Amino acid sequence: MSREEHNKWAYSIPGKLALNYIYYLGDFNTKFFTELRDNKRILGVKCPKCNRVYMPPRSVCGRCLSKLDEWVELSDKGTLLSYTVVNYSEPYQPTAPPIVYGIIKLDGADTGFTHLLSEVDAEKLRIGMRVQAVFKDKREANIQDIKYFKPI
Amino acid sequence: MVKKNRNVAIVGVGQTYHKRRRPDVTQVELINEAVRAALKDAQLDIADVDVVVHGNMELFEGTYQGDMWHVDGDGAYMKSGIRITTGGTTGGTLVCATDNIVTSGLYDVALCIGFEKMEEGEATGGITGMADPLWFRWMMSGALSGASFAERLEALTMEQLERLELVAAKLRVQLADNAARNPYAHLRMKLTIDDVMNSRLLVYPLRLLHMCPESSGACALILASEKKAERITDKPVWIKDHVTTHLEDFVVGVITEAESTMRRCARKLYERNKITNPLKQIDTFEMYDPNVWWHMDWMTEFLFLKPGENIEMIAKGKTALEGDFPINASGGVVSTNPIGATAMLRVAEAALQIRGDAGEHQIPKEVNTAMASSFGGSTWSILNLLTKEKPM
């Protein structure tokens, strides 16, 4: 039975949650996003104790709780660790389907992060393929300043 | 007496400097400040901690699985973890739950964290948008929706009301003075009685300066089992007992019980701990006071005062820092209110008073026993009883 048919006898009350959250980047993340916006540079951060280079960067190492401030410039090129292709459409999605999500480990980083892939034939996606960041022309200091990654 | 499997003590206390806004840090980093402070206070490393108990008011942080988001800051990576959200009482529930899992024998050293970055969420949107959907959500207008004084006000003469307003203002000034001596407090302003009496009217007789602020901050406590606690610190603060009480009315306005949750909570705590004269047997009280009117009312409820005794105590300065029975030496919730941390700060401040480590706002008289309350919707009450002496 459809919702419309249910609603003929099952009365309901709409929810009203529409909360205007705002999230501050903080001093630490501001450095990352300013570099991304102004210089198209992607910075990771190195934990002096674990020797791990994090991307996305973070000011505290979750593993050992060290304070992190050793910035490392990463390449805009990296390796695809995993991917998935979404073929259906939903209003919350960032772009129209097919959407290719990938986990990319940038050269110089020890961790992968999730972003979009484009300019790619879904059939040709392979774990381990090399990809490169494509930056937006008009950048606004958020992670979407990287438009997507494309195969190289 | 409540049957505890083994004694549990607070061995580390940490909190952030509480402010309206902290745009210089993320939620993860804010929490990390409190965690770092607690570890330093206990002289422990994160590797010494077995479990992390994490909590705030649901929806205020605006992410799913906030405990996982905050892992980098709270130190829970590869440790056991629990997330607790019980609204306004969260900070108190965090202490109760952490005490329970340590006394049970499951874990020896536990870190509990309460936080709120209220500049980022939308507290009133959260409260109103989450109220009972069938009966109350459409009219819920925020934390003050349930603040009804009608049954009290109608019984008072104009003269009595004016006297009450004056005492409320005196109390607010007293709490501001306490907060001025607490470097971590949010509102540390010098207030006069006139400032309070002339502040904007919200819901008669409640004025803006009677009300708690919205703060950003975090609190972290480290709890340890008896053996561990005595090895970690020479000043353990024992969690002797705690009681939680609820009222059946999720929909505000349905009053079917004659006794408040505050009174019921205190009765049970006193019975279990042979407290017949709370003003004598307890040395200080850190109360979750969302506004000074409730502070005055709840004194009577929690402490079993005779009618008018609360007003007399405040008028005579007995609840001031130097008084016989100091209440909220920290400045209380009307001075500092990062909601998920608010109730935990009551326990933290009570513990510091017992240790004698409260600094400038240390109560001059000896503090051996302290009580801390938590409050949340709908009139949910928790009391934590802390002692310097190890419980039998």
Q: What is the DSSP string of A110-121?
A: SS-EEEEE-S--
Domain extent, residue B31, equals: 8-123+214-232
Using H for helix, E for strand and C for coil, what is the string for B61-115? Answer: CCCCCHHHHCHHHHCCCCCEEEEECCHHHHHHHHHHHHHHHHHCCCCCEEEEEEE
- Out of 3.10.20.30, 1.10.10.60, 2.40.50.840, 3.40.50.10880, the CATH code matching A22-151 is 2.40.50.840
What's residue B363's pLDDT?
Answer: 98
**Residue B328 DSSP code:** -
- Does the structure show a pLDDT above 80 at B187? yes
> Does residue B45 belong to any structural domain of this protein?
yes
A63 touches chain B (CB under 8 A): yes
Contact list, B78 vs chain A (CB under 8 Å):
63
- Does the structure show a pLDDT above 80 at B115? yes
pLDDT, one tens digit per residue, over A89-128 is 888 888 898 999 999 999 999 999 999 999 999 889 999 9
- Does the structure show a pLDDT above 90 at B267? yes
Question: Sorting pLDDT into bands at 50, 70 and 90, what band is B295?
Answer: very high
Q: What number of other Cβ atoms are within 10 A of residue A18's Cβ?
A: 8
Q: How many angstroms away from the CA of A64 is the closest CA of chain B?
A: 7
pLDDT, one tens digit per residue, over B4-19 is 899 999 999 999 999 9
pLDDT, one tens digit per residue, over B320-361 is 999 999 999 999 999 999 999 999 999 999 999 999 999 999
Q: For residue B42, give the CATH number of its domain.
A: 3.40.47.10
User: For residues A104 and A99, what is the distance between their CA atoms, to the nearest angstrom?
Assistant: 15
Answer yes or no: are the C-beta atoms of B128 and B137 closer than 8 Å. yes
Q: Which residues are CB-contacts of A4 (< 8 A; sequence separation ≥ 6)?
A: none
User: Are the beta carbons of A19 and B29 separated by less than 8 Å?
Assistant: no
What's residue B146's pLDDT?
Answer: 47
Q: How many angstroms away from the CA of A55 is the closest CA of chain B?
A: 13
B72 touches chain A (CB under 8 A): yes
Answer yes or no: are the C-beta atoms of B378 and B247 closer than 8 Å. yes
What's residue B374's pLDDT?
Answer: 97
User: For residues B76 and B95, what is the distance between their CA atoms, to the nearest angstrom?
Assistant: 17
**Strand-pair partners of B370:** B284, B386
User: For residues A152 and A129, what is the distance between their CA atoms, to the nearest angstrom?
Assistant: 8
In chain A, the residue whose alpha carbon lies closest to the alpha carbon of B39 is: A65
Nearest to A134 by CA among A144, A117, A149: A149
Computed on alpha carbons and rounded to an integer, the radius of gyration of chain A in Å comes to 20
Q: Which residues are CB-contacts of A2 (< 8 A; sequence separation ≥ 6)?
A: none
> Does residue B78 belong to any structural domain of this protein?
yes
Domain boundaries, chain A: 22-151
User: Are the beta carbons of A13 and B130 separated by less than 8 Å?
Assistant: no
Three-state DSSP at A46 gives strand
pLDDT, one tens digit per residue, over A130-143 is 999 999 999 999 99
> Does residue B99 belong to any structural domain of this protein?
yes
User: Which alpha helices (DSSP H) does chain B contain, by range?
Assistant: 27-42, 66-69, 71-74, 90-103, 123-130, 150-153, 158-180, 193-197, 226-232, 261-272, 278-281, 292-303, 309-315, 339-355
Q: Which residues are CB-contacts of B85 (< 8 A; sequence separation ≥ 6)?
A: B55, B56, B57, B58, B340
Answer yes or no: are the C-beta atoms of A147 and A132 closer than 8 Å. no
User: Are the beta carbons of A28 and B29 separated by less than 8 Å?
Assistant: yes
User: Are the beta carbons of B125 and A19 separated by less than 8 Å?
Assistant: yes
Q: How many angstroms away from the CA of A69 is the closest CA of chain B?
A: 13
What's residue B255's pLDDT?
Answer: 55
Q: What's the mean pLDDT in B271-295? A: 97
User: For residues B242 and B306, what is the distance between their CA atoms, to the nearest angstrom?
Assistant: 24
Unique residue bearing structure tokens 């422990």: B44
> Does residue B20 belong to any structural domain of this protein?
yes
User: For residues B334 and B332, what is the distance between their CA atoms, to the nearest angstrom?
Assistant: 6
Q: How many angstroms away from the CA of A74 is the closest CA of chain B?
A: 21
Q: What number of other Cβ atoms are within 10 A of residue B83's Cβ?
A: 17
- Chain pair A-B, CB pairs under 8 angstroms: 78
User: For residues B370 and B348, what is the distance between their CA atoms, to the nearest angstrom?
Assistant: 11
**Strand-pair partners of A133:** A149
Count structural domains, chain B. 1
User: Are the beta carbons of B28 and A29 separated by less than 8 Å?
Assistant: no
The two structure tokens encoding residue B314 = 């405040």
Answer yes or no: are the C-beta atoms of A55 and A29 closer than 8 Å. no
In chain B, the residue whose alpha carbon lies closest to the alpha carbon of A57 is: B72
**Residue B343 DSSP code:** H
Answer yes or no: are the C-beta atoms of B187 and B332 closer than 8 Å. no
> Does residue B388 belong to any structural domain of this protein?
no
Which range, of B130-134, B189-193, B217-221, averages the lowest pLDDT?
A: B130-134
Smallest Cβ distance to A17: which of B73, B75, B129?
B129
Distance of CA B127 to the CA centre of its chain: 19
Q: What's the mean pLDDT in B19-23? A: 94
Question: Sorting pLDDT into bands at 50, 70 and 90, what band is B251?
Answer: low
More confident residue, B140 or B6: B6
User: For residues B156 and A50, what is the distance between their CA atoms, to the nearest angstrom?
Assistant: 67
User: Starting at the edge strand that comes first in sequence, how are the strands of the sheet with A42-46 ordered?
Assistant: A53-54, A42-46, A70-74
The Cα-based distances of A84 to A114, A116, B179 in angstroms read 11, 10, 54
Answer yes or no: are the C-beta atoms of B264 and B373 closer than 8 Å. no
> Does residue B27 belong to any structural domain of this protein?
yes
Nearest to B94 by CA among B270, B291, B298, B239: B239
Smallest Cβ distance to B32: which of A13, A25, A60?
A60
Distance of CA A86 to the CA centre of its chain: 16
Question: Sorting pLDDT into bands at 50, 70 and 90, what band is B150?
Answer: low
User: For residues A99 and A84, what is the distance between their CA atoms, to the nearest angstrom?
Assistant: 8
Cα end-to-end distance, chain B, whole Å: 10
Answer yes or no: are the C-beta atoms of A53 and A108 closer than 8 Å. yes
Three-state DSSP at B39 gives helix
Percent helix, strand and coil across chain A, each rounded to 5? 15, 30, 50
